[in-house]
Amino acid sequence: MSASEASELAALRESEGRLNLFINYAPVALAMFYLQMRYLAASRRWATDFGLADKKISERLT
């Protein structure tokens, strides 16, 4: 892996981390889905509002 590829990978991981923090701590219900309506991400509020708080949404993420 070249230095530029490693740098791009690190930047991607950092960006994904920021997105996860935003979604997990958003004070509103929000979720992101693939076209097939599979979860990309969901906030804690989404899980609570839609009765998924006791289930692991991460298992539904594909």
Q: Single out the residue of 34, 36, 52, 33 nearest to residue 44, CA to CA.
A: 52
Digit-coded pLDDT (tens) for 28-53: 999 988 888 888 888 888 888 988 87
Q: Which pLDDT score, from 0 to 100, does residue 62 have?
A: 44
Residue 60 has pLDDT above 60, yes or no: no
Assigned token pair, 52: 């998924």
Predicted TM-score (pTM) of the model is: 0.63
**Residues above pLDDT 70, as percent of the chain:** 85
Residue with tokens 């994904």: 16
- Which residues fall within 8 angstroms of residue 55, CB to CB, at 6 or more apart? 47
- Burial pattern 1-11, b for ≥16 Cβ within 10 A else e, equals eeeeeeeeeee
